[in-house]
Amino acid sequence: MAGEKNKEKLILEAAIATFTSKGYQSTRMEDIARSAKISKGLTYFYYKNKEDVFMALTRKAFEQFKDEFREVYRNKGRSGLEMIVDLVERIIDFAEKNQVLYDSIINFLDLMKRFNSEEGKASISPMILESQHFQKLLEIQHDPAKLGVNIISLGIKDGSIRPELQPEITFYTIWSMIVGYEKMRGPIEYDAKETKIRPENWKPGFIKLIKEMLKGTIQASRPTTVQTSLF
């Protein structure tokens, strides 16, 4: 059993390396087998096809992603606001250090959007739908978010987060902001002069904005009325 797990781990590590260097579309099963230094036949013994490998990789990504949430949730003795700020930083770091894994999570979110309609579901490759890892992903996909919602709830309870916020909506909104942040990193890093944002100050500014939103300290200011006389 341990030997099988080691082989599966070896194949997934090879898949991550190959997807990173060649891209998903250009990668073939033989490329993964070559990178793992095992036979193509043995690779097919553990995974039916490239789609099955990618779903297994996505499952691994969700499990590692959830570990980040667990670490924050276990580290009590802090306010909910401090915990959620820590979590935001961890998610951003996770995306930067594990790009293929994070991209697989985002890809799965896009996949679920298609899966939720009959027309969209019909456009998904049967090899993905038949993967046992895809079926498992359907069960665990919300696990990280549940922990995120719990952290928001703790913050509302301890008074560090605005009491009128709804935990589920608040967490998913924050996550959607992080997805947008990651999407925009490329354009900003490509031409900081055009966007007038430097990569090194955007991350702390982004985190500060989320923090102030949750605390409720961002308020619209009315323009000052200046008394004047026509005469």
Q: Are 109 and 35 in the same domain?
A: no
Q: Residue 64 has which token pair?
A: 């590692």
User: Per the domain annotation, does 223 fall within a domain?
Assistant: no
Residue-wise pLDDT tens digits, 116-147: 999 999 999 999 999 999 999 999 999 999 99
The structure tokens 């080691």 sit at 6
Give the model's confidence band at 6: pLDDT under 50 very low, under 70 low, under 90 confident, else very high. confident
The whole-number pLDDT of residue 41 equals: 93
Question: What local confidence, expressed as pLDDT, does residue 221 receive?
Answer: 44
Task: Report which of 166, 125, 165, 149 is spatially closest to residue 25, judged by C-alpha positions.
Answer: 125
pLDDT in tens, 155-182: 999 999 999 999 999 999 999 999 999 9
pLDDT of residue 184: 87
More confident residue, 39 or 2: 39
Residues 140 and 201 in one domain: yes
Give the pLDDT of residue 226.
45
CATH number, domain of 5, equals 1.10.10.60
Same-domain check for residues 98 and 203: yes
Residues 88 and 24 in one domain: no
Write down the pLDDT at residue 186.
Answer: 79
Q: What is the CATH number of the domain that holds 138?
A: 1.10.357.10
| Alpha carbon distances (Å) from 64 to 44, 71, 176 | 25, 11, 19
Residue among 222, 221, 181 at smallest CA distance from 202: 181
Is 81 in the same domain as 159?
yes
The answer to whether residue 84 scores a pLDDT higher than 90 is: yes
Q: How many CB atoms sit inside 10 A of residue 207's CB?
A: 16
Instruction: Pick the range with the lowest mean pLDDT from 18-27, 32-41, 125-134, 192-201.
Output: 192-201
In terms of residue numbers, what domain contains 83?
50-215
- 196 vs 71, higher pLDDT: 71
Same domain for 16 and 112, yes or no, is: no
Count: domains in the chain: 2
Please give the mean pLDDT across all residues of the chain: 89
Report the distance separating Cα 110 and Cα 199, nearest Å: 26
For residues 21 and 58, state if they share a domain: no
Banded pLDDT at 48 (limits 50, 70, 90): very high
95-99, 129-133, 224-228: least confident range = 224-228
**pLDDT for residue 229 is more than 70:** no
